[in-house]
Chains A and B, each alone.
Chain A
């Protein structure tokens, strides 16, 4: 499925795409810029605010297949992890990818059922996953509450911090990055080809190919009306526990998280606001605790009701957390899609216009891989994974 050497491919493409303009300096846009520029392609990234100003700088960093929906998303998740591993051992992301297991926990019989089914799906996708017996739970995870009835330990997972990945790739790549440069439209020729992008400052920048990786800003640029849903997530960061509490070897993810995210059967969360608990032990000794899924909400505020809800669940699962202080709360806005699949590929009607967005809560995991993948599309090379199902054509029926 994946060619083992693709991550180190620095040979110039057979058909040089010319000057590629990338809209958005999130993890997806910057990854694409990195892979293109490594092959000698000329790239300019135009960012409305600053690198990682969107979801990529306000998220957790689970590089994880554990929470993916069975099928294509699990397959992409595995490719995402493989990409991180290659970039970490190849040096570009050395030290930024922390390998660790994920623990999915169930607190009652109904959750245990969801958990067992999801574990089976993971195993089916080739993931090493093991259900822990109660005695093992106490031994491996002494910090979790007695209420936990079942735990699945998922191997081969990892963690990376979105904004740090963005910074490392931006430093390693040889491309132009323009901050505070919002794009407000495209200039097209008669055939529909994009010849330039226009920036908020009134300037035009000539382009031979354009990639829109602008998160929630993509909808307006591409006229994908109704396809994207901004989905706010509130996250909480504790102070350093530094030896005061035992931290698990990897994140504790409630089975309810799978439901909230719609990764497991039993419920795409269609409530306007749902909660899915993940307690993530960071390398700093802090805990990052999430989070909410709030559809259609684009403010990045926090509210006491949500914060208390998340903390109550977190303390129920890991009682010692009550001894720490909450350092800050923040929010990020995911870009979700109505059919719960990302949007990646060439935009119908403009052969040199590409899009990569709609990664909901998975873009840190999938970002570098997707950047690699779209860089191939832009160079006219075959993709490593069949992504026809992700094509923007499903949202732009009127385009010819």
Chain B
């Protein structure tokens, strides 16, 4: 066992989901010293999120269970060091990686500066949610957030839940709710996934996906969960007697639901907000892996993690063959089929959102504010949208509004075609807000024994 007095390491892996774990395993096999950090308290990431102590795990499909068991076995045997409750706050201009160890019982938070020769960022994906009137109300959450709650607690929060938006995740969440004995009131899906038989047939090429999909659909059918296709929410309001009043519109007809909770979801995208891009001169070799590089799902995340771990070893001078990209390509094709199946039959063009629709929830900026900003300008730059409009400036730093803002601008603002969400979110330092006391707490130096990280050496 070696004690790491100075925080110099070969490879820092950020994120303990499948991509990060696979990268760590691969890099250890190549002989690198590896430190993996995750902001949470357990490994698993989004897909293999483990239950809180004392809670029952949510059932996983056999194929997922087998993958997770193999990966966690390999990881445990790899000898990679792990720090939980530790989030990556960015690379500074000197190439130092800043790790924020969050305050926990009896221990103040602090920032550990780490000098790594290579860094693999494997921080996963985030959900997209298209703004609609009322999406900022209490009781509205993301479907992925609901799923994480279920995975952690082993139970569905009580009350009537409506799932809405678009994408296969809605079906997966509904099926898990059924399994836990609390089916959703309905699923409101914008797309018409069964309307494209030719695409459906392509799923035959990936029997794993097909089997999972059929199992989910069978379970929903048996539980009689209504699934409304080509339908979308138009507004959410607080109901007079508590709960939420939801309106939705299909082709021609309108429907209302009275529920306690609405879980929204419109697909996933890489969680690349504010991440450093290229490395500073003299800084670490930097790469991304898994969903944060390209959101292709769990199978691809493992393969891509292995690739990144191997690539880091190669970049640090080890003579090893590059890994095949075939498995990732196969997953990309499968995801493309899913994306086409769920390409929305309906969407409210952002131009039609009522003025009072909140777009940025942190700073409470609305569609009307964005329209006002656009009036009289053409070729507005991302910087002006941020500085003058206050979009993507709040404490979520654009995670929830950058896509929607850009979508709006592209369709409504002359000359905004070339805008990208990343122009709004930019590179942030720190990547997320960090406590000032935490930043000032000395840590990571040899003087502080609590910060010493132990790495097993065989």
Chain B residues within 8 Å of A301, by CB: 92-93, 280, 429
Smallest CB separation, B423 vs chain A (Å)? 11
Chain B residues within 8 Å of A304, by CB: 92, 94, 96, 98, 111, 113
A265 interface residue, CB < 8 Å from B? no
Chain A residues within 8 Å of B428, by CB: 328
Are A329 and B429 closer than 8 Å at their CB atoms? yes
Chain B residues within 8 Å of A179, by CB: 379, 381
A57–B426 CA distance with the chains assembled, in angstroms: 15
Would A163 and B387 be within 8 Å (CB), given that A49-B381, A239-B433 are in contact? yes
A108–B97 CA distance with the chains assembled, in angstroms: 36
A305–B280 CA distance with the chains assembled, in angstroms: 16
A330–B435 CA distance with the chains assembled, in angstroms: 17
A327 interface residue, CB < 8 Å from B? yes
Residues 413 to 444 of chain B near chain A (Cβ within 8 Å): 428-430, 433-437, 439-440
A227 interface residue, CB < 8 Å from B? no
Residues 206 to 231 of chain B near chain A (Cβ within 8 Å): none
Are A325 and B94 closer than 8 Å at their CB atoms? no
Chain A residues within 8 Å of B395, by CB: 239, 327
A321–B437 CA distance with the chains assembled, in angstroms: 8
Are A57 and B113 closer than 8 Å at their CB atoms? no
1/0 contact string of B18-58 vs chain A (CB within 8 Å): 00000000000000000000000000000000000000000
Chain A residues within 8 Å of B113, by CB: 304
- Which of A51, A171, A328 makes the CB contact (< 8 A) with B430? A328
Would A325 and B435 be within 8 Å (CB), given that A301-B93, A304-B96 are in contact? yes
Are A325 and B436 closer than 8 Å at their CB atoms? yes
Are A307 and B439 closer than 8 Å at their CB atoms? yes
Smallest CB separation, A239 vs chain B (Å)? 6
B317 interface residue, CB < 8 Å from A? no
A305–B96 CA distance with the chains assembled, in angstroms: 10
The interface residues of chain B, by DSSP majority, are classed as: loop
Residues 383 to 402 of chain B near chain A (Cβ within 8 Å): 383-384, 387-388, 395, 397
- Which of A57, A299, A305, A324 makes the CB contact (< 8 A) with B387? A57
- Which of A305, A327, A328 makes the CB contact (< 8 A) with B94? A305
The CB with the most chain A CB atoms within 10 A, among B280, B395, B428, B439, is that of B439
Chain B residues within 8 Å of A239, by CB: 395, 433
A212–B436 CA distance with the chains assembled, in angstroms: 41
The CB with the most chain B CB atoms within 10 A, among A238, A301, A315, is that of A301
Chain B residues within 8 Å of A325, by CB: 433-436
Would A312 and B440 be within 8 Å (CB), given that A167-B384, A326-B434 are in contact? yes
Residues of A in contact, count (CB < 8 Å): 35
Residues 88 to 125 of chain B near chain A (Cβ within 8 Å): 92-94, 96, 98, 111, 113
The CB with the most chain A CB atoms within 10 A, among B96, B430, B434, B436, is that of B436
Which residue of chain A has its CB nearest to the CB of B433? A325
Would A238 and B436 be within 8 Å (CB), given that A50-B383, A163-B388, A167-B388 are in contact? yes
**Count of A-B contacts with CB under 8 A?**
87
B376 interface residue, CB < 8 Å from A? yes
- Which of A57, A164, A302, A315 makes the CB contact (< 8 A) with B440? A315
Interface size class of B (residues with CB under 8 A): 20 to 34
- Which of B93, B280, B381, B436 makes the CB contact (< 8 A) with A322? B436
Are A302 and B429 closer than 8 Å at their CB atoms? yes
Chain A residues within 8 Å of B280, by CB: 301
A348–B114 CA distance with the chains assembled, in angstroms: 53
Would A311 and B376 be within 8 Å (CB), given that A301-B93, A301-B429, A303-B94 are in contact? no
Chain B residues within 8 Å of A51, by CB: 381, 384
Which residue of chain A has its CB nearest to the CB of B381? A50
Chain A residues within 8 Å of B384, by CB: 50-52, 167
Chain A residues within 8 Å of B439, by CB: 307-308, 311, 326
Which residue of chain B has its CB nearest to the CB of A57? B387
Residues 274 to 324 of chain B near chain A (Cβ within 8 Å): 280
- Which of A303, A315, A324 makes the CB contact (< 8 A) with B92? A303
Chain A residues within 8 Å of B376, by CB: 171
Smallest CB separation, A51 vs chain B (Å)? 6
A312–B439 CA distance with the chains assembled, in angstroms: 9
Are A326 and B430 closer than 8 Å at their CB atoms? yes
Would A52 and B93 be within 8 Å (CB), given that A322-B436, A325-B434, A327-B395 are in contact? no
- Which of A49, A303, A324, A330 makes the CB contact (< 8 A) with B436? A324
Smallest CB separation, A380 vs chain B (Å)? 32
A77–B435 CA distance with the chains assembled, in angstroms: 36
Chain B residues within 8 Å of A324, by CB: 435-436
Residues 168 to 188 of chain B near chain A (Cβ within 8 Å): none
Chain B residues within 8 Å of A308, by CB: 439-440
Chain A residues within 8 Å of B98, by CB: 304
Chain B residues within 8 Å of A323, by CB: 436-437
Chain A residues within 8 Å of B387, by CB: 52, 57, 163-164, 167
Are A299 and B434 closer than 8 Å at their CB atoms? no
A241–B285 CA distance with the chains assembled, in angstroms: 37
Are A57 and B94 closer than 8 Å at their CB atoms? no
1/0 contact string of A27-68 vs chain B (CB within 8 Å): 000000000000000000000011111000100000000000
Smallest CB separation, A308 vs chain B (Å)? 6
Are B430 and A57 closer than 8 Å at their CB atoms? no
Residues 295 to 342 of chain A near chain B (Cβ within 8 Å): 299, 301-305, 307-308, 311-312, 315, 321-330
A315–B280 CA distance with the chains assembled, in angstroms: 29
Which residue of chain A has its CB nearest to the CB of B394? A327
Chain B residues within 8 Å of A53, by CB: 381, 383
A301–B113 CA distance with the chains assembled, in angstroms: 16
Chain A residues within 8 Å of B434, by CB: 325-326
Residues 87 to 117 of chain A near chain B (Cβ within 8 Å): none
The CB with the most chain A CB atoms within 10 A, among B383, B388, B435, is that of B388
A54–B66 CA distance with the chains assembled, in angstroms: 54
Are B437 and A322 closer than 8 Å at their CB atoms? yes
A247–B41 CA distance with the chains assembled, in angstroms: 36
Chain B residues within 8 Å of A311, by CB: 436, 439-440
A239–B394 CA distance with the chains assembled, in angstroms: 9
Are A299 and B93 closer than 8 Å at their CB atoms? yes
Chain A residues within 8 Å of B381, by CB: 49-51, 53, 179
Smallest CB separation, A156 vs chain B (Å)? 28
Smallest CB separation, B268 vs chain A (Å)? 25
Would A164 and B429 be within 8 Å (CB), given that A53-B383, A322-B436 are in contact? no
A77–B376 CA distance with the chains assembled, in angstroms: 33
A304–B280 CA distance with the chains assembled, in angstroms: 14
Chain A residues within 8 Å of B397, by CB: 328
A164–B390 CA distance with the chains assembled, in angstroms: 11
A171–B93 CA distance with the chains assembled, in angstroms: 36
Smallest CB separation, A162 vs chain B (Å)? 9
Chain B residues within 8 Å of A163, by CB: 387-388
- Which of B92, B111, B430, B436 makes the CB contact (< 8 A) with A321? B436
Smallest CB separation, B173 vs chain A (Å)? 32
A303–B283 CA distance with the chains assembled, in angstroms: 12
Smallest CB separation, B28 vs chain A (Å)? 28
Smallest CB separation, A19 vs chain B (Å)? 21
A164–B386 CA distance with the chains assembled, in angstroms: 11
A312–B442 CA distance with the chains assembled, in angstroms: 11
Are A302 and B383 closer than 8 Å at their CB atoms? no
Query: 5 A-B pairs, CB-CB below 8 angstroms?
Result: A308-B440, A323-B437, A325-B435, A328-B429, A328-B433
Given contacts A301-B280, A303-B94, 7 further A-B contacts (CB under 8 A): A53-B383, A164-B387, A239-B433, A312-B440, A323-B437, A324-B435, A326-B433
Please provide the 10 A-B residue pairs with the shortest distance between their CB atoms, ordered closest to farther: A301-B93, A50-B381, A325-B433, A322-B437, A163-B387, A303-B92, A303-B93, A304-B92, A167-B388, A302-B429
